[in-house]
Structure 1
Amino acid sequence: MKDLELLLKNIKNKELLPIYFFHGEEPYFMDVAVKCLENEVLEEDEKAFGQTIVYGKDTTMAEVIASAQQFPMFGNINLIIVKEAQDLKWNEEDVKVLEHYIENPVPTTVLVFAHKHKKLDSRKKVSKILDKKRFLFHSEPVKDWSLAQWISGECKSKNIKTDPEIPVLLAEYLGNDLSRIANELQKLKIILKDGEVLNHQLVETHIGISKDFNVFELQKALGQRNAAKAMHIAHYIGKNPKSNPFVMMIGNLYNYFSNLIIYHTMPGQNSSVIAGAMGVNPYFIKDYAEAARNYPLKRATRVISILREIDLKSKGLGANQTEDSELLKELVYKILNVDQVKVKA
């Protein structure tokens, strides 16, 4: 969500809007904003009479607007929060009622909608009015390529110092579940001592991600063309499919070799520029430089073809169904011997 920090700052400073309509595919940012409104708009002793929380499936738009039009019984503000607003049923009359209220909100009411998992239709009049009034806030998912960067920012905001590899490792293993990532980081913040740096050992101990047998180490071993280490890691990962889903392995290796191709297309550029194009921390450029020597552009392109071939096999296309553990070992072997294996066009 754009300008989330500014939005939270304004709420805490009591610079409030009459309407907040949060919508979009990513629920985490909405949860953060709504929680801030719950905590900051009213004092604890005002909440009993001034705060109303309802759920979309249990109410109607007409009831919500009727509540919003009431003046506070005590205090100066009525806070009305509609959670799971995507479950509200809107008929044409409801839409007109909402549009009218948006144009003429009650100044003593703060009306909040959390419309999760999907966007409002931007073509609709109600969306255009909300947007024009700057009451509409779109909560977009963090793109996979920028997830590690987002985690790094969250660590900084929580004053968690990390080794450079840690945001990448967490992104690869926790995926795009921002709520889970935030919870894990909060847990780590409580555990870490003052000045302690979050490293692989702490991540392995408290989150369960192995510091030696993970896709990050597999990438590094493949980049170095260290056959013994890469096959050893593949064997271990294959024995722990729940902790290492094959689809995640394929996705991360595809991103890695795609980044390697980007590296080849930017000769002479400085590390920061290349890292920016890849969406990675500049710390890792030295690893890509080594991998680039082992995988020239033509070889890296062939690896992408191998990854696509194995991905199709994993989906049962063009071959008998093979266990993921065996497919991973086949994949690693073919990458290491990319010049000798046949690659399907």
Structure 2
Amino acid sequence: MLTVESLKKRVKNKELSPIYLIWGTELYLAENAIETITSLLSPDEKDFNLSVHNLDEISVQEVIEDAETMPFLGDRRVVVMKNAAFLTAAKEKTKIEHDYKIFEHYIQNPADYTILIIVVPYEKLDERKKIVKQLKTQAEVIQVSKLSNDTAEKWLQKEAVSLGVSIDGEATQLLLSRLGTHMAVLAKELEKMALFVGENGVISKDTVENLVARTLEDDVFGLVDHVVHKRTEQALRSFYDLMKQNQEPIQIHALITRQFRMINGVKELQKKGYGEKQIASSLKLHPYAVKLASKHAKRYDEAFLRNCLNNFADTDYKLKTGQMDKTLLLELEIVALSQGS
């Protein structure tokens, strides 16, 4: 199985396969792999000898017919077959009739002048299918899975260097906490910050804070941070700012509840001797979120946190049944949390 990096080396050395199978849900890497292969064609050749097909719109037999067509004004064709759901266990969404026998025959006897790229944007292939087994034997397979947090951190560091800048650890963690491991989004934000700090500049936590758009959850985290540090006035001001943005009180309350559940979960696992990485894995959280929740957990005892969670359930019921004004309910909750310990 190839990685995108090893694919680049092989293409550079002209070590090519007639068929490539790209599968997985990280579309940024999938597109990167496709671009690497199609770079074999000059811009002029691409006009005549590059075809991109979507199996939601065209039959597999028409794609194979294209792959068997001789190249025009060039030595090679590249044919891309996207959304090959028939290689997974997923139910096909289109009414287009596909003749998979023609496809099976082709992968056993591919045209020597065509590179066929098969893209499967799903988490799993259906290994039970004969056609999948044949493909994994006949094709070069490139898996493009979502990055883990650790891998994403390393990737960000490497991408920053390629842009002529560096990014420090806190900035990396905050960026991943805010955006997740979606590579296309990360790449776009990283490029923006690199332009801001300039060549040989350093992307810091402050750079991320100032340039990367905050989510509602980020704003609620800020509110909770004020609450934890007993900054009642600032916490209420954060709440009023959210209300001015027309955020729904029920959603704000749900996110406050989530933050305190996280704090409680971290505290319970710390008591069992878990480290931050183990806690992140157990609670399925980003390590940076665990690091922040760990600081908050030190300010509360277990009894208070359990009582908070019980009160949150009561507030949620009152919010959803209209027993009290929603704004007043959350104001009272924020004040009570700020004064607790």
* TM-score when normalising by structure 2: 0.71
Unaligned runs of 5+ in 1: 340-345
Tell me the residue number matched to 1:184. 189
Q: Secondary structure at the match of 2:115?
A: strand
Cα 1:89–1:294 change in 2 (3 A) is same
State the distance in 2 between where 1:18 and 1:139 align. 19
| Residue pairs, 1:56-95, within 5 angstroms | 56-85=55-84, 91=97, 94-95=99-100
Q: Secondary structure at the match of 1:214?
A: helix
Contact 1:215 1:252 in 2 (8 A): no
State the distance in 1 between where 2:136 and 2:314 align. 45
Q: Which amino acid aligns with 1:295?
A: Y
Tell me the residue number matched to 1:37. 37
Tell me the residue number matched to 1:157. 158
Contact 1:254 1:307 in 2 (8 A): no
Tell me the residue number matched to 2:322. 320
Tell me the residue number matched to 2:203. 198
The more displaced of 184-193 and 12-21 is 12-21
Tell me the residue number matched to 1:17. 17
| Residue pairs, 1:240-279, within 5 angstroms | 240-241=245-246, 246=252, 249=255, 253=259, 256-257=262-263, 260-261=266-267, 263-267=269-273
Unaligned runs of 5+ in 2: 86-92
Displacement of 1:266 in angstroms is 4.4
State the distance in 1 between where 2:229 and 2:265 align. 15
State the distance in 2 between where 1:312 and 1:114 align. 47
Cα 1:74–1:199 change in 2 (3 A) is same
Q: Which amino acid aligns with 1:64?
A: V
Displacement of 1:64 in angstroms is 1.0
The more displaced of 130-139 and 43-52 is 130-139
Q: Which amino acid aligns with 1:320?
A: G
Contact 2:21 2:139 in 1 (8 A): no
Please, which of 119, 130, 133 is the counterpart of residue 128 of structure 1?
133
Q: Give deviations 1:139-180, integer Å, cap 9, x for gaps.
A: 4445xxx55x56533431222534544344444544665433
Tell me the residue number matched to 2:90. none
Q: Which amino acid aligns with 1:33?
A: A
Contact 2:79 2:115 in 1 (8 A): yes
The Cα RMSD (Å) is 4.4
Q: How many residues align?
A: 326
State the distance in 1 between where 2:312 and 2:327 align. 15
Q: Secondary structure at the match of 2:298?
A: helix
Q: Which amino acid aligns with 1:253?
A: Q
State the distance in 1 between where 2:232 and 2:12 align. 55
Contact 2:23 2:120 in 1 (8 A): yes
State the distance in 2 between where 1:77 and 1:193 align. 41
State the distance in 2 between where 1:22 and 1:270 align. 37
Calculate percent identity across the aligned residue pairs.
Answer: 24
Displacement of 1:136 in angstroms is 4.7
State the distance in 2 between where 1:171 and 1:74 align. 46
